[in-house]
Amino acid sequence: MVNLVQNEMTKLVGKRRFVIISIIIIALLSMFSYAQVKQAESIKERLGTVDWRTELQQQIVDMQNRLSSAGQWREQIQIQIKQSQYYLDHDVNPAEPGAPTFMRGFVQNSAELFLPLLIMIIAVDLVSSERSMGTIKLLLTRPVSRFRILLSKYIALILSVSLVIFLFGILSYIISVIMFGNQGWSAPVLTGFSTQGDTLDISAVRLVSQWQYIIQQFGLAWFISIVVGTLSFMLSILMRSSAAGMGTMLACLIAGAILSNMVSSWDSAKYLFMVNLGLMDYVSGSAPPIEGMTLGFSLAVLAAWMLGSLIVSFTVFTRKDVY
């Protein structure tokens, strides 16, 4: 088994997928961190101070002004206002400048779309490429059961996803440390906000150190990526062409990003996997796309989708005619 997994890893490394992913991450990171530096400069110019309290207070007032014309965003903004006010009242800087804060924001923003896209680069042709190149026959003539072959591919996928998340973390650290410095690992972060309609429940709010928060966030990002990876994996078995699998998955992910913004009145949409990808929003305390969704619920929905697609993958692969 170990040998089979190693074999799969050799193929992935040979295809230079990790190099491509690293290059994409580095390119995007450089742009984001540069944009962040620029933004900080423009805020400083506008307010004439670097005091974060002043900046946060200004943000709160700006949000209050948007309230009257916010329409359906009203609840979200109200929660955001209350949360910012809580930070302010407890003298906790929500964005302590430094590399950890940048990493936190970056992983939070990329967990729903960017990271899954990177995972797709690996997962989407894991099986279909073997078929299109004809190497699948060689693989299946080996004296190993089909189940074990697929299992080794899946384990390789999980390992690669972990590696990609790690690359993502380490690269964002390296680049942001150059731009913003290394301070802020033990800075406090408020977590445990829960929302009920437009009210913010602060009874369970507590402070955690930023490094703990970041590890937790990466854990959640990892889970999201595994789910997306598993679904792409299924598509790569079901579809002959990698491009078709990629397209289908992309469509789902983008639909999810759009739906999360507009499904608040379509209740049963909460059973779709793509609406549940915003796991981190629960931890940071913004309003869920559909009322009543919780972290436990989303994890369960995602796990169910994952399990379902695994069953489909293994049944189809072990029974399929290969010619």
Partner 1 sequence: MHSKKVRWITGFAAFTCLLWVFGLGWAVKDYLIGTTSTATAPSVSEQPIAAVEQVKIVALGDSLTRGTGDIEGKGYVGYIGDMLKQKGTDISLINLGIKGLTSPGLAEQMQEKEIGRQIGQANVILMTIGGNDLFLGGQTLSDVSEASITGLEDAFLINLKAIMTSIRSVNKDATVYLLGLYNPFSEFENGALLSEVVRGWNYKTAEQLAEDPGTVFVPTYDLFQKNVNDYLFTDHFHPNEKGYQLMAERVAALITGVGGQS
Chain contacts with partner 1 (rule: CB under 8 A): 3, 5-7, 9-10, 13, 46-49, 51, 53-54, 56-58, 61, 64-65, 68, 85, 88-93, 158-160, 162-163, 165-166, 186-189, 191-192, 204, 206-209, 212, 215-220, 222-223, 282-283, 295-296, 299
Closest to partner 1 by CB, 3 vs 265, is: 3
Q: Which is nearer to partner 1, 90 or 240 (CB)?
A: 90
Distance in Å, CB of 314 to partner 1, minimum: 21
Closest C-alpha among 226, 211, 237 to residue 277: 226
Task: Give the torsion sign (CA, 263, 267, 273, 276).
Answer: positive
CB burial of 29-65 (b: ≥16 within 10 Å; e: otherwise) equals: beebbeebeeeeeebeeeeeeeebeebbeebbeebee
- For residue 177, the one-letter residue type is V
Of 214, 8, 235, residue with least CA distance to 116: 235
In whole angstroms, how close is the CB of 56 to partner 1 at the nearest point? 8
Is the Cβ of residue 124 or residue 283 nearer to partner 1 in the bound state?
283
Handedness of CA 157, 211, 86, 77 (dihedral sign): negative
Q: How far is the CB of 14 from partner 1 (least distance, A)?
A: 9
Closest CB 192 distance from partner 1, rounded Å: 6
Cβ proximity of 182 and 210 under 8 Å: no
Q: Which is nearer to partner 1, 188 or 245 (CB)?
A: 188
CB of 313 vs partner 1, minimal distance in Å: 20
Between residues 12 and 238, which has the closer beta carbon with respect to partner 1? 12
